[in-house]
Amino acid sequence: MQFLKILFWCLLAFVAAVFTFGNWTTISIQLFGGLVAEVNLPLLLLTTFLLGFLPTLIYQRWMRFRLRQRLTAAERAMESALAAARGPEPAPPVEPRPAPTPAAPTPAIPTPAAATPIATPGAE
């Protein structure tokens, strides 16, 4: 697609160059007070084209800017209306913390007072 755009602009530039070369004549324009302006035809055509095109381009850009501003304002209004319709967001549920458990006392290691033999049945 980019190639086609470049080709189009190159062809347009070529046609403009051929037109300029073929029509390079001087035109006399009668101004106020007896003044005469001699202008080349391609320059005159470019000037008249820009006099018609630039106001249209400025108007189009201005309307595009205004429509974007209106769209942004409408989106903000819609978002605030939706937020108001939904109501406040509920707070996340608070999970109660478990009470801390006291540390279990460590069992004391019994000290062997006297080694008593364990009697087993049937053994003497």
Q: Is the pTM of this model over 0.75?
A: no
Task: Output the average pLDDT for the chain.
Answer: 86
**Per-residue pLDDT averaged across 46-69, rounded?**
97
CA distance 24 to 11: 20
**Per-residue pLDDT averaged across 23-40, rounded?**
91
DSSP string, 25-77: -EEEEE-GGG-EEEEEHHHHHHHHHHHHHHHHHHHHHHHHHHHHHHHHHHHHH
pLDDT above 90 for 98 = no
pLDDT above 70 for 82 = yes
**Predicted pLDDT of residue 99:** 76
Tokens 């007896």 belong to 34
pLDDT above 90 for 59 = yes
- Using an 8 Å Cβ cutoff, are 24 and 39 in contact? no
Encoded tokens for 80 = 């605030």
Question: Which sign does the torsion angle of CA 19, 25, 31, 37 carry?
Answer: positive
